[in-house]
Structure 1
Amino acid sequence: MKRRGICLLLVLLLLAGLAACGGGGETAAASDSTASSAGQEAGWAEGGAEAAEQPAADFSTVRQNAKLILSADLALETRDYDKAVADIEQMTAAAGGYIQSSGTSGEPGSRFANYTLRVPQEKFESFFSQLGETCHVVSSNRWSEDVTDQYTDIETHLATLRTKHERLLSLLDQASKMEDIISLENALADCEYEIDSLTGEKRQYDDLVSFATITVSLSEVQTLTAVADGAGFGAQLAQAARSGLGGLTAAVRGGILLLVTIWPVLLLLGAGGGIFLCIRRRRAKAEAAAEAAKQEQDGCGTP
């Protein structure tokens, strides 16, 4: 009985020890799990902070990998026409570009110029901004055209045609019959024509991609056109007020210029009106004198 009691006691102690070990393992596992979750949350928070500190998107890489034709147009106004023209031409030369076409019209005070400018693609953004700082911008637009697929097709077709051209030359060297020689020479001529045509088209794409096209219209004005600073009602109201004031000023200026322009006509009209009034007064006096004389005669003839 004593042996059975001792054995039973030992079994109970062993089971209690195993239970304690199991509980500790679960506690440790729970602690590890909690630490892991905390670590993941800390890692996510750090990752979010790094993402928030990332710089803005850079499109230069996209432009390098894609064939993009960049274009823009601006409507500009200036009160100092000669300086604005000189600035535009100097800025174009400084950017490494050139003037593709230009034209001027009008008289001093209301002159107009239009330019088609070509500048290197990498200078497009800075040049566009400089133009807006040089003169008063009435409107501006810019856009791009992706011609990567067309350009790739041309390159692929050219590679195929050049391979065909080499094979035709090899066959022509081996040909002995006149019919074969003539046929191969005709095929070579057609192949060379296609190569030249596609090479010219590829060269044109290279030029359009390498140099952006900017169209500028420059107007000489006395009063700059009011442009809204925003899209809200307040901005539109301020623009309307500035436009109305500018319109009133322009109307007064135009009226003065009109009077100065037609002063000879006004002088002639004034002189003609004065002569007409003098003649009318003389006639009125003559008629009054005649009427008085008639009345006097009538009074003398009455008994």
Structure 2
Amino acid sequence: MKRLLSMFLIMAFLVFAVGCGVGVSKSEGGVAGDYEVTEDSKGIADDNLVPKTDSDFSQDKIIRNGKIDLFTDDYQNTVDKITSYVTGLDGFIQSSNDGYVDSNKLAYGSSGFMVVRVPSVKFMDSMEEIKSYGRPTDSSTNTENITGTYKDLESELKSFKIEEERLLTYLTKAEKIEDMLTIEKELTRVRTEINSRASILNNYDKLVAFSTITINLTESKSATGNIDSPFSDFGLKISSGFAASINLMLNILAGLILILIRLLPFLIIVGVALLILWFFKKKNRK
């Protein structure tokens, strides 16, 4: 009897020990699992709270323009420098205009303007470089963010392309001539809208990729840079003056003759009237 009681106690102890071990394992596993889930959730939350960096805004569509008014001592040399610099950046001269004058007669020499296009990433560097080629009197810059407009046009373009594909599908299934004509008319309209938006987007891409700088150039010179002698070409000036005087006298004489010819009919009438009057006076005296 004692032996059976001892065996029962031993078995009860073993069952209790095994049950406690399993409970501890489950508890530890549950805690570990909860901890791992918490860490994952925390990681996701932290990712959502990370602020955006500059690279996240790199898709913004920004058009940059600048203007520079520049005085220079050598107009053509400055034009050559600007041209060389811009082409070295893989930019280009969009338009230019030169106005050449006799720099010996005026305080300012040649003048003109240039409209250049430079890569947008080099816009501010280009402004500073070009200003260093002379004496800037005025400069300005402006930017236009067209990101919203650009995205709207992209969405419209995508919608029209989807509509084009749908119309092409309808066209392949159409059996009546009138249905085909109707679909082709609508297809022409949609393709016109696609080309219009694609053209605008392409132009925006160019304006964003290459900034525009307008440069007004004026050549200046020192007031004492040249001495003009009043006796230079003196003989030519005398002969020119003499010829001008003769021409003036001849013009006056020709004018007087022309006036007399125009007054001749009136003079004849007045002369006849005076002759008649003189005749009657002479007759009355007798």
TM-score scaled by length of structure 1? 0.55
CA 1:90–1:170 in 2, change beyond 3 Å: closer, same or farther? same
- What is the rounded CA distance, in whole Å, between the counterparts of 2:217 and 2:56 in structure 1? 32
* Per-residue deviation, 1:148: 1.1
Where does residue 80 of structure 1 map in the other structure? 74
Where does residue 92 of structure 1 map in the other structure? 86
Where does residue 181 of structure 1 map in the other structure? 180
Q: Secondary structure at the match of 1:134?
A: coil
CA 1:263–1:181 in 2, change beyond 3 Å: closer, same or farther? same
1:70 aligns with 2:70: no
* Per-residue deviation, 1:258: 8.8
* Match among 85, 97, 119 for residue 103 of structure 1: 97
- What is the rounded CA distance, in whole Å, between the counterparts of 1:87 and 1:60 in structure 2? 34
Report matched runs for 1:39-54 at 5 Å: none
Higher RCO (C-alpha under 8 Å, 6+ residues apart): 2
Where does residue 151 of structure 2 map in the other structure? 152
Q: How many percent of aligned residue pairs carry the same amino acid? A: 28
* Per-residue deviation, 1:107: 2.2
- What is the rounded CA distance, in whole Å, between the counterparts of 2:238 and 2:56 in structure 1? 70
The size of the alignment, in residue pairs, is 185
Report matched runs for 1:1-303 at 5 Å: 61=55, 64-107=58-101, 109=103, 110-223=109-222, 250=223, 257=228, 259=230
- What is the rounded CA distance, in whole Å, between the counterparts of 2:233 and 2:159 in structure 1? 74
Q: Which runs of 5+ in 2 are unaligned?
A: 1-52, 104-108, 243-286
RMSD: 2.8
Which amino acid in 2 is paired with 1:80?
A: D
* Per-residue deviation, 1:62: 8.2
Q: Secondary structure at the match of 1:66?
A: coil
- What is the rounded CA distance, in whole Å, between the counterparts of 2:134 and 2:232 in structure 1? 31
Alpha-carbon displacement from aligned partner over 1:142-191 (angstroms, at most 9, x marks no partner)? 11011111111110000000000000001111111111111111110100
Which amino acid in 1 is paired with 2:90?
A: G
* Per-residue deviation, 1:79: 0.8
Alpha-carbon displacement from aligned partner over 1:77-121 (angstroms, at most 9, x marks no partner)? 111223211111100111110001111012253101210100110
* Per-residue deviation, 1:263: 5.7
- What is the rounded CA distance, in whole Å, between the counterparts of 2:204 and 2:131 in structure 1? 28
The list of structure 1 runs, each at least 4 consecutive aligned residues, that deviate by more than 6 angstroms after superposition, is 268-271
Tell whether the 8 Å contact from 1:95 to 1:127 is kept in structure 2 after alignment. Answer: no
* Per-residue deviation, 1:60: 7.1
* Per-residue deviation, 1:268: 7.7
Which amino acid in 1 is paired with 2:153?
A: I
* Per-residue deviation, 1:207: 0.7
TM-score scaled by length of structure 2? 0.58
Which amino acid in 1 is paired with 2:129?
A: Q
Q: Which runs of 5+ in 1 are unaligned?
A: 1-58, 224-249, 272-303
- What is the rounded CA distance, in whole Å, between the counterparts of 1:214 and 1:107 in structure 2? 25
- What is the rounded CA distance, in whole Å, between the counterparts of 1:260 and 1:160 in structure 2? 80
CA 1:179–1:111 in 2, change beyond 3 Å: closer, same or farther? same
Tell whether the 8 Å contact from 1:105 to 1:111 is kept in structure 2 after alignment. Answer: yes
Which amino acid in 1 is paired with 2:95?
A: S
Which amino acid in 1 is paired with 2:201?
A: K
CA 1:115–1:267 in 2, change beyond 3 Å: closer, same or farther? same
- What is the rounded CA distance, in whole Å, between the counterparts of 1:175 and 1:268 in structure 2? 93
CA 1:176–1:76 in 2, change beyond 3 Å: closer, same or farther? same
CA 1:126–1:261 in 2, change beyond 3 Å: closer, same or farther? farther
